[in-house]
Chains A and B, each alone.
Chain A
Amino acid sequence: MSQDALTAEVLRNALVVAAEEASIVVVRSAYSTFIVEGSDASAALLDASGRLIAQSMATTLMNSMALKVALPELLRDIPLAAMRDGDVYALNDAYRGGVHTNDLLVYRPVFLGGAPRYFTATMIHVADLGGLSAGGMAPLATDIFLEGLQLPPVRLATAAGLEPAVEAILRANSRTPDKVMGDVRALVAGTAVAAARLRTLAGEYGETGLAAGIEDYLDDTEARTRAALAELPRGRYAASYPIDDDGIHPGVTHTVAVEVEVGDGRAVLDFAGTGPQVPAAINSSASQSLAAAVFAVRCFLDPTIPMNDGCLRAIEVRLPSGSLLNAQPPHPCGGRFVPIYAAMEAVFQALSDAMPDRAIAASGILQPFSIAAVGAPYWIHLSYDFGGVGARQGKDGPDATGVHFGVGRNSIPQAEPVESRCPLVVESVETIPDSGGPGRHRGGLGSRTVIRFLAAAHVTTRGDRLRTPPPGRSGGLPGRTGGFRKRHRDGTVERLPAKSNNVRFEAGEAFIIETTGGGGIGDPRTRPLPAVERDLATGAITPEAAATDYGVTVNPDGTLTRCFR
């Protein structure tokens, strides 16, 4: 390795580490229950023209795209010339790069040579900023005003500390004012950590050296992305994916459509044909749809390519304004994962058609829910469970985990810390036998979590793919749909709507979350017997399903026989 190459690599890694350190500070010092037990915080470095330079390693692309798209909007309201060293800015406006009201975006300009050259940015889902339910979910919102406080770009802090007026507004709009301010301080501290790192790098490399190193990094990433795109089969591939309903009109489906064009070292993803935005919480802001499209394409490229502006230059995403994927005021945006997960699935299916040997069947998705005290003082538990991943050509799908945005099971809270904080008992967390779509390669299983309450609580849910199961491919069968349920004290179980708001549970009643399994690939009757045998041993399938789905009967001596009908 040449000394120049070494210097460049040290710098590139140092940029990622700067973002990583910021995210660690935020995640470990925040209060939001969504963050502290599970999800990682997001942090990014950007330059003054709004280009994404580096992001924390565990961030989802949703968050770094929000930080990237919102920065030019911040600069439109508050120009660079008006910024002072030590200032920190914040916004959550979904129509200007933000996600939804509870996701707070925080920026700190980094001054070099007397002018702001870079920004360090952090973002988490904060404890509570108002809206229909404690914790920030408003699945039945019909406009954005029901989703909570909207914050346009404002100066959150100066070198002297938090702006008292902004703090007062945030506190006044939160059910948990102390926790939300703890989260805000964590976000501000994260930007400070990354800014200090960046200033150190500017000292080591010189301002121009740093700028040149960043430029090279972005150019190199662009070249790698284009080279990887050039290896994909040239052509245009179309697919669409359905959304169960908008929560207000049960049974009325919506559609996300895409045409992916690959060739000449670039990709164009055109979502024309996607359904129009609706006055319900199944729309997405543009930044989130951009993240979904880029993520889905990247799943078919060299995974080691860094994520920065260089990668984005090679991927063009067209989001029709006023569609489910590019909502305009005042359409709700809080349920954005519903349309953007459909968008990712559509891209996966389109590219699976293009590359059958790398095909993936559709998956169950995460099923978010919140549990909160029915009144002050509020305790909040905000979490989700994962559906099963679709089978991949040549291998089964993993159980109950995230394939969309690549979030792992470490983001699901453990029972002990949750029980030590909230009046509830997690009775069980199990996989559901037979929930994975049968196939030569089986879809991953869904999971069932049962939470019994020790005090009255409000439950809010936001589910999809609970009516229309994720289909299989090439003869594989769909996964089994899950759902949200209430177990009464007498043991009877009632199904809740997929999208429900503040359903009251009494002490002794239990909330059941069942997630949907992934689709299978290939005719299940061609599944090798040892795989069926293993599934029977681990309980992934029952003997009944072995017979009906796989045509395999269990003999009295324990051996298996395949019977073709």
Chain B
Amino acid sequence: MEYTIGIDVGGTFTDAVLRGPSGPVTSTKCLSTHSDPASGIVTAVLAALRDAGVAPEAVGRVVHATTLATNAVLERRGERVAYVTTRGFRSTIPLGRYARVEEDRYDLRFDPPPPPVAAQDCFEVPERIGPRGEVLLPLDEDAVREVAAEIARRGITSVAVCLLHAYADGAHERRVAEILARELPGASIVTSSQVWPEIREYERATTTIMSAYVGPVLGRYLRALRERLAAIGVRAPVYVMESGGGVMSAELAARRAVATIESGPAAGVLAAAATGRPDVISFDMGGTTAKTCVIRNGRPEITREFHVGGKGSFGGRRAGTGVPIKTPAIDLAEVGAGGGSIAWLDAAGTLRVGPRSAGSEPGPACYGLGGDQPTVTDANLVLGYLAPGALAGGTLRLHPELAEKAIDRHLAGPLGVGRAEAAHAVHEIVTASMASAVHVVTVQRGIDPRGFALVAFGGAGPMHAAGVAARFGIGTVVIPAHCGVASAAGLLSGALSTDRVLTRLGAPDPEAVFARLAEDACRDLGVTPGDPGVTVTRTATVRFTGQSHDLPVAWTPDRDELAARFEAEYERVYGIRQTGPIEIVTYHARVTLPPPEAGEAGEAGAAVPAAGSPAPAPGARRAYFPERGGYTAVPVLSRAHLTAAGAPGPLIIEEAGSTIVVPPGWHAARTPGDAVTIRTAP
């Protein structure tokens, strides 16, 4: 009998979901421990195993979503990187390739995005390979040694190598890496031909640089995590979710660190997609950030290029506004606000919420962990939406008096309004910023959100969901089972997968290229192409000779059939029927192996008995609803007490990891899959 554990580490909470052969069995929520994330994980895993009465040795697989790579990038806490490129191209990265779109166009005071590596840490070596792999200038190995000496002198231990046309032949890059490895013992060295060998030097270089920037940090963390888990008896292999919704081994994740950049959010989107509704907007609000994604026909949109730190616009991160990373990623929007966001008054005396967050250390004032700034969570407690007492499976107590004090002192007093009015204003402001994330993925794309259901999860999501939905006239909100730990549950449905690409212009034998890519990808996953359940998806990007942009087309070795597929795709995408000579640009192999419990992947809606914190019995408490003139007695239920016929708002539904607020004018009912569906009352 084998168990699987899904672990999602967020800015505030670490969630764990344990699943047995017959479905999820337990979930836990603990405070994240930033200085040492593994310690929070160990606490959560131990709690989950204890609650379920499962021995650590019975765990066969651990799947992990981590924001470590993202945070290292956003907080600029990655490894200092030395960048080595072909002579003449030292300025490529500092100059950048940013776009100026929309309002940026008219900004004379614009600043280009800061480069991912300092100008003075960019080095050059004489060498040149041509677009078809021909050596135009042999590598100057002495120059490489001189560069290595300077890198050593600066004490830099992570090096990214991207030479021109290395997709066509990686020999010079490999030789540079060999020399650097010898001259810089212990340094981490990544080459572009190893990371993402696709034509276009800028994006290939930034992908390589970001790998060098976050790889060592992620690698150290994952090694430490495996040791810590082993120490408590969990010796199962550890997998990490990648941005595109698949999972990969920890070893591979350390080498492909950039593929994990949207690891956590991807897991949440998988959970939303598993509700079974075809058209939904996923709304994942945690302690530090909120993420939204549009899912149409049951499938989230996948992008082929991800822009770290990019500006949101046209419904996504706009190309040219961040650091481009070539990796498949679920297309979602993110805003930096959540339950831990701090409410404050600006110089003009206007109430603002975020972007600063109290996170888990010190946390909101009401946690009693030393925080004294009022947060969204404090406001929700004052408003009666959150219950005083135990939170996060009893690991944490909420102290209303501390929340009241923080709100009085920092907001209500200076503003000269009542405590409840101040708290409600905080609640409304953060609901508005949540709405802006929905706005980005719908309205800004010209998509009318009113035809969609909002699927809300994350610790804070179900408390704000109805308010967000109301802003858009969305009439249906679905709160899936185990909504407080939905991302951790979503991890369990991710298939083992990885991608390999190669640009090879005029390759004489495409089948051989694909065979090698598939072999490499399988080796990455520790499987072989013939293993049962292993799927190899081959895609070629094709273009009309003379054009520059290519389109991905499902591979077939039959050249005429490939041309026909390309022409059909071209017509579908561009509306132009065209024929002409074609050429293959890039080869892409994706290898996937469904998780062992694949048969149950779709039924993430099964109940998670919240063992350890028994479902509270029906009760009532006073909560603040301006529609009812202020504080009013509101029934409090657990999910188990809600029937299919349901109950009208105002109503609060409490469970271990989350609280659902059903405002007046809404009606909540239990729906299949143990979901709570709330609808605007007719």
Residues of A participating in the B interface, judged by any CB pair closer than 8 Å: 1, 3, 6, 9-10, 13-18, 20, 25, 27-31, 33, 36-37, 57-58, 61, 178-179, 182, 185-186, 188-189, 192-193, 197, 204, 295, 298-301, 303-304, 348, 358, 360, 392, 395, 398-403, 405-410, 412, 414-417, 419-421, 425-431, 447, 450, 537-539
Q: Which of A185, A360, A398, A403 contacts B576 (CB 8 A)?
A: A185
Whether A10 pairs with B448 at a CB distance below 8 angstroms is: yes
Give CA–CA (A189, B313) in the complex, Å. Answer: 24
Whether A538 pairs with B549 at a CB distance below 8 angstroms is: no
Whether B164 pairs with A431 at a CB distance below 8 angstroms is: no
Give CA–CA (A410, B96) in the complex, Å. Answer: 8
Residue in B91, B201, B202, B472 with the greatest tally of chain A CB atoms within 10 Å: B91
The answer to whether the Cβ of B200 comes within 8 Å of any Cβ in the partner chain is: yes
| B residues in contact with A298, CB < 8 Å | 106
Whether A416 pairs with B578 at a CB distance below 8 angstroms is: no
Provided the pairs A58-B101, A420-B131 are in contact, do residues A429 and B547 lie with their beta carbons within 8 angstroms?
Answer: no
Give CA–CA (A58, B313) in the complex, Å. Answer: 12
| A residues in contact with B99, CB < 8 Å | 58, 408, 410
Return the chain A residue nearest B111 by Cβ. A398
Provided the pairs A57-B313, A420-B199 are in contact, do residues A447 and B95 lie with their beta carbons within 8 angstroms?
Answer: yes
| B residues in contact with A398, CB < 8 Å | 110-112
Give CA–CA (A298, B130) in the complex, Å. Answer: 45
Whether A9 pairs with B314 at a CB distance below 8 angstroms is: no
Given contacts A182-B547, A415-B164, 7 further A-B contacts (CB under 8 A): A10-B443, A57-B314, A185-B576, A303-B103, A360-B108, A410-B99, A538-B119
8 tightest CB-CB pairs across the interface, nearest first? A428-B88, A14-B446, A406-B105, A36-B548, A303-B103, A420-B131, A17-B446, A408-B100
| A residues in contact with B314, CB < 8 Å | 17, 20, 57
Residue in A298, A409, A416, A447 with the greatest tally of chain B CB atoms within 10 Å: A416
Provided the pairs A31-B546, A407-B100, A450-B88 are in contact, do residues A539 and B120 lie with their beta carbons within 8 angstroms?
Answer: yes
Query: Shortest Cβ distance from A165 into chain B, in angstroms?
Result: 21
Provided the pairs A303-B106, A406-B100, A410-B97 are in contact, do residues A427 and B88 lie with their beta carbons within 8 angstroms?
Answer: yes
Whether A539 pairs with B107 at a CB distance below 8 angstroms is: no
| A residues in contact with B111, CB < 8 Å | 395, 398
Query: Shortest Cβ distance from B107 into chain A, in angstroms?
Result: 5
Whether B200 pairs with A414 at a CB distance below 8 angstroms is: yes
Give CA–CA (A13, B446) in the complex, Å. Answer: 5
Whether A29 pairs with B570 at a CB distance below 8 angstroms is: yes
Provided the pairs A398-B112, A416-B165 are in contact, do residues A13 and B89 lie with their beta carbons within 8 angstroms?
Answer: no
| B residues in contact with A402, CB < 8 Å | 100
Whether B97 pairs with A409 at a CB distance below 8 angstroms is: yes
Residue in A193, A304, A399, A450 with the greatest tally of chain B CB atoms within 10 Å: A399
The answer to whether the Cβ of B104 comes within 8 Å of any Cβ in the partner chain is: yes
Give CA–CA (A434, B218) in the complex, Å. Answer: 40
The answer to whether the Cβ of B336 comes within 8 Å of any Cβ in the partner chain is: no
Whether A6 pairs with B106 at a CB distance below 8 angstroms is: no
Q: Which of A3, A17, A392, A410 contacts B473 (CB 8 A)?
A: A3
| B residues in contact with A1, CB < 8 Å | 435, 471
Return the chain B residue nearest A450 by Cβ. B88
Give CA–CA (A47, B87) in the complex, Å. Answer: 52
Whether B102 pairs with A182 at a CB distance below 8 angstroms is: no
Whether B575 pairs with A192 at a CB distance below 8 angstroms is: yes
Give CA–CA (A179, B426) in the complex, Å. Answer: 58
Q: Which of A29, A182, A538 contacts B120 (CB 8 A)?
A: A538
Provided the pairs A6-B473, A414-B201 are in contact, do residues A299 and B106 lie with their beta carbons within 8 angstroms?
Answer: yes
Q: Which of A186, A447, A450 contacts B574 (CB 8 A)?
A: A186
Whether A431 pairs with B95 at a CB distance below 8 angstroms is: yes
| B residues in contact with A427, CB < 8 Å | 88
Whether B104 pairs with A415 at a CB distance below 8 angstroms is: no
| B residues in contact with A407, CB < 8 Å | 100
Give a binary string over B97-138; 1 marks a CB under 8 Å from any A CB, 0 the rest: 111111111111111100000111000000010110000100
Provided the pairs A31-B547, A186-B574, A193-B575 are in contact, do residues A429 and B88 lie with their beta carbons within 8 angstroms?
Answer: yes
Give CA–CA (A450, B314) in the complex, Å. Answer: 36
| A residues in contact with B319, CB < 8 Å | 410
Return the chain B residue nearest A36 by Cβ. B548
Whether B473 pairs with A13 at a CB distance below 8 angstroms is: no
The answer to whether the Cβ of B94 comes within 8 Å of any Cβ in the partner chain is: yes
| B residues in contact with A431, CB < 8 Å | 91, 94-95
Instruction: Give residues 167-215 of B contacting A (CB, 8 Å).
Output: 199-202
Give CA–CA (A475, B570) in the complex, Å. Answer: 56
| A residues in contact with B613, CB < 8 Å | none
Return the chain A residue nearest B198 by Cβ. A416
Provided the pairs A6-B443, A408-B99, A430-B91 are in contact, do residues A415 and B575 lie with their beta carbons within 8 angstroms?
Answer: no
Whether A186 pairs with B108 at a CB distance below 8 angstroms is: no
Give CA–CA (A428, B202) in the complex, Å. Answer: 14
Query: Shortest Cβ distance from B262 into chain A, in angstroms?
Result: 22
Give a binary string over B144-169; 1 marks a CB under 8 Å from any A CB, 0 the rest: 00000000000000000000110000
Provided the pairs A31-B547, A447-B91, A537-B120 are in contact, do residues A189 and B575 lie with their beta carbons within 8 angstroms?
Answer: yes
Query: Shortest Cβ distance from A379 into chain B, in angstroms?
Result: 9
Give CA–CA (A403, B130) in the complex, Å. Answer: 34
Give CA–CA (A212, B507) in the complex, Å. Answer: 56
Give CA–CA (A466, B165) in the complex, Å. Answer: 33
Query: Shortest Cβ distance from A199 into chain B, in angstroms?
Result: 14
Give CA–CA (A257, B90) in the complex, Å. Answer: 40
The answer to whether the Cβ of B43 comes within 8 Å of any Cβ in the partner chain is: no
Query: Shortest Cβ distance from B445 into chain A, in angstroms?
Result: 6
Give CA–CA (A75, B319) in the complex, Å. Answer: 37
| B residues in contact with A410, CB < 8 Å | 97-99, 319-320
| B residues in contact with A420, CB < 8 Å | 131, 199, 505
Whether B578 pairs with A185 at a CB distance below 8 angstroms is: yes
Whether B89 pairs with A429 at a CB distance below 8 angstroms is: yes
| B residues in contact with A61, CB < 8 Å | 105
Give CA–CA (A423, B23) in the complex, Å. Answer: 61
Query: Shortest Cβ distance from B566 into chain A, in angstroms?
Result: 12
Provided the pairs A58-B99, A430-B91 are in contact, do residues A417 and B199 lie with their beta carbons within 8 angstroms?
Answer: yes
The answer to whether the Cβ of B433 comes within 8 Å of any Cβ in the partner chain is: no
Give CA–CA (A28, B471) in the complex, Å. Answer: 36
Instruction: Give residues 419-456 of B contacting A (CB, 8 Å).
Output: 435, 443-448
| B residues in contact with A392, CB < 8 Å | 108-109
Provided the pairs A13-B443, A13-B446, A29-B547 are in contact, do residues A57 and B87 lie with their beta carbons within 8 angstroms?
Answer: no
Query: Shortest Cβ distance from B147 into chain A, in angstroms?
Result: 16
Provided the pairs A29-B547, A409-B96, A537-B120 are in contact, do residues A401 and B88 lie with their beta carbons within 8 angstroms?
Answer: no
The answer to whether the Cβ of B92 comes within 8 Å of any Cβ in the partner chain is: yes
Instruction: Give residues 304-318 of B contacting A (CB, 8 Å).
Output: 313-314
Whether A417 pairs with B112 at a CB distance below 8 angstroms is: no
Name 24 interchain pairs, CB-CB below 8 A, sorted by A. A6-B473, A13-B444, A15-B446, A17-B445, A28-B549, A28-B573, A29-B574, A29-B578, A58-B99, A299-B107, A300-B108, A304-B103, A398-B111, A401-B112, A407-B100, A408-B99, A408-B320, A410-B319, A410-B320, A412-B97, A417-B200, A417-B548, A428-B88, A428-B89
Whether A182 pairs with B101 at a CB distance below 8 angstroms is: no
Give CA–CA (A480, B319) in the complex, Å. Answer: 32
Provided the pairs A409-B96, A429-B89, A450-B88 are in contact, do residues A295 and B101 lie with their beta carbons within 8 angstroms?
Answer: no
Q: Which of A16, A27, A539 contacts B119 (CB 8 A)?
A: A539
Q: Which of A178, A395, A408, A430 contacts B109 (CB 8 A)?
A: A395
| B residues in contact with A10, CB < 8 Å | 443, 446-448
Give CA–CA (A110, B205) in the complex, Å. Answer: 44
Query: Shortest Cβ distance from A455 into chain B, in angstroms?
Result: 14
Whether A415 pairs with B201 at a CB distance below 8 angstroms is: yes
Residue in B130, B574, B576, B578 with the greatest tally of chain A CB atoms within 10 Å: B574
| A residues in contact with B95, CB < 8 Å | 399-401, 409, 429, 431, 447
Give CA–CA (A192, B102) in the complex, Å. Answer: 23
Give CA–CA (A538, B200) in the complex, Å. Answer: 25
Q: Which of B108, B199, B313, B472 contacts A416 (CB 8 A)?
A: B199
Q: Which of A57, A303, A421, A430 contacts B107 (CB 8 A)?
A: A303
